[in-house]
Structure 1
Amino acid sequence: MMQMTGQATARSPLGQGVNGACHRDIWAGRTILVSTAALVAEMAIGGVALILIGLSQDPESEFTGLGLVFTTVVILPMLAIVSVILGLLATLILVLPIVWLARRAKGRWGWTQKGAVWGVPLVAPIVSAALLLVGSVLYTMASGAVGSPTVHAWWWLALTAFSVPSALFAWLAASRTEPGSGLRLALRVFASGAAGAVGLALWGGLAYATGLVKLYEPPHLSRADVVGIWQDGRGGTLELAADGGATAHRLSDTGHGHCEGTGKWSLESSGTRSQDLELAGACGTTWSIGGTSERPTLYYYVGDPDEGHRYTLLRGSER
């Protein structure tokens, strides 16, 4: 009799209601708040990391002091708003489905609460792959193009790595029921992420200031390094001869047309390390030298340099 009573209790509407409430808690406001805070913190840390890495790479645009002030005053607040919106969207279509599926697996396989946490990183690749598949289909329908398998693989890995930390925090938030716990956890997560971003920025600045990591410097080329055929990858070429002669074929110009003909070239220093290639005659313009010593480039900016639109040439053997 006692055994039958226990079975009845386990299957009673009250037991089912508790289980149902547990599942509904995943979509509660506190879970959404904590997940969004975690995603914003991840984006802040990732953004600082990308900036620090970019300082050692060939920049895509010239960054002036005025541009830095503009970015700090205008762009950063806009990025903060955008990151919150993106975090909320990612929470709804990526993070919460991961937590929900992990919770379902817990009930299906009878995992303990502690063991079920490991279900989050197990199901994250599945949900990320499903979301990527939907996105790929929509992209193909809109553009008619199909992304390469390598690009899809990198996106899948990025979505999986991006979603796991926030999904674990969302799981933790869904497990708490005391009033105000979600807000407190969200603030702690965001504060930890902000502290991590600031700490990373300080350590990165110290590494560059002490010379442990070198800031990007354009290569310094000799005349012999410049001689050869440079290509834009779209049929345009610039042949630079050792005697200073230049022959252009179907090079793009600033008017989005093409130019070709002959002229003269010369190397000019434009700073302590920077060099320019002056092209006179047909297609005459000033080309900046960038890239690396192993893979130099010739380029000039199209339009506003702060927008970063370059027209770039690579040596023919490097295309």
Structure 2
Amino acid sequence: MKHDRAGHRVWTRPAITVSTAASTVTAMCALALFMVWAMADPGPEPEGSEADSGAAAVFLLPLFFAVLWAVSFALTVTLVLPALSLARGTGTRWGRAGAWWWVPAALSAVTAAAVTAVAVACGSFGAVAAPPVYLWWWLGVTALLTPSGLLARLVNLRAAEGRPGPRADRVLFMGCGGLAACFGVFLTAALVTELVT
């Protein structure tokens, strides 16, 4: 286990699992918002295309969830927990150690470095995008991972105090329940709007 300067454990199994669960839920919410946006503004359909059946999506859902969990785990290990360690070190050095706002600040720095590294790597292959594209990626990844970092911080703080923190299964259950509730509200609003107009 890695420790910060104060001797606290930074990388704990509960922090990793809760952060991975939170990243999975926020990614599912982002994908759901993208799907809703795509349904609201479908754009022109190419000629000769037919509507796909939703049955294939039901069978591919477990595979999709497994891939999403693996990506969330990779993001937790490469971005969230290093940012959490940076937040603790910075907070200890500059005052107010353990304050929650160090986590989003550290995450923005770590994700900026990651997006810059990806931009440089893509640039070496000649695939250069406009600067606003990288800015949007930085903002999106930071926003996606901030809840994960805050929950991992909470788990570590409660473990240091000897109290139980949020568990990964509860984060997934509550997140998926919230996502289903949001979809229910959206579909109800769409149905009411369709009936009224």
Shorter-chain TM-score tier: 0.7 to 0.9
Relative distance call for 1:118 and 1:209 in structure 2 (3 A) is same
Q: Please report the TM-score for the alignment, with normalisation by the length of structure 1.
A: 0.54
Whole-angstrom distance in 2 between the partners of 1:210 and 1:159: 34
Greater per-residue helix proportion: 2
Match of 1:238 in 2: none
Q: CA deviation at 1:18?
A: 8.5
Q: What are the superposed Cα offsets for residues 204-249 of structure 1, whole Å, 9 maximum, x if unpaired?
A: 11122112699xxxxxxxxxxxxxxxxxxxxxxxxxxxxxxxxxxx
Relative distance call for 1:35 and 1:55 in structure 2 (3 A) is same
Q: What secondary structure sits across from 2:42 in the alignment?
A: coil
Q: Which runs of 4+ in 1 moved over 6 A?
A: none
Relative distance call for 1:207 and 1:136 in structure 2 (3 A) is same
Match of 1:172 in 2: 154
Q: CA deviation at 1:180?
A: 9.5
Match of 1:54 in 2: 38
Relative distance call for 1:169 and 1:155 in structure 2 (3 A) is same
Q: Does 1:72 align with 2:58?
A: yes
Equivalent of residue 140 in structure 1, options 123, 128, 141 = 123
Relative distance call for 1:213 and 1:96 in structure 2 (3 A) is farther
Q: % of aligned pairs identical?
A: 31
Q: Does 1:19 align with 2:3?
A: no
Match of 1:189 in 2: 171
Greater per-residue strand proportion: 1
Whole-angstrom distance in 2 between the partners of 1:171 and 1:213: 46
Higher relative contact order (CA 8 A, sep 6+): 2
Equivalent of residue 63 in structure 1, options 31, 36, 51 = 51
Q: What are the superposed Cα offsets for residues 160-213 of structure 1, whole Å, 9 maximum, x if unpaired?
A: 11111110001111113288946x522221112111110111111112211269
Q: Does 1:125 align with 2:108?
A: yes
Match of 1:36 in 2: 20
Equivalent of residue 82 in structure 1, options 40, 63, 67 = 67
Relative distance call for 1:170 and 1:208 in structure 2 (3 A) is same
Whole-angstrom distance in 2 between the partners of 1:45 and 1:159: 13
Whole-angstrom distance in 2 between the partners of 1:160 and 1:212: 36
Matched positions, count? 189
Paired letter, 1:197? L
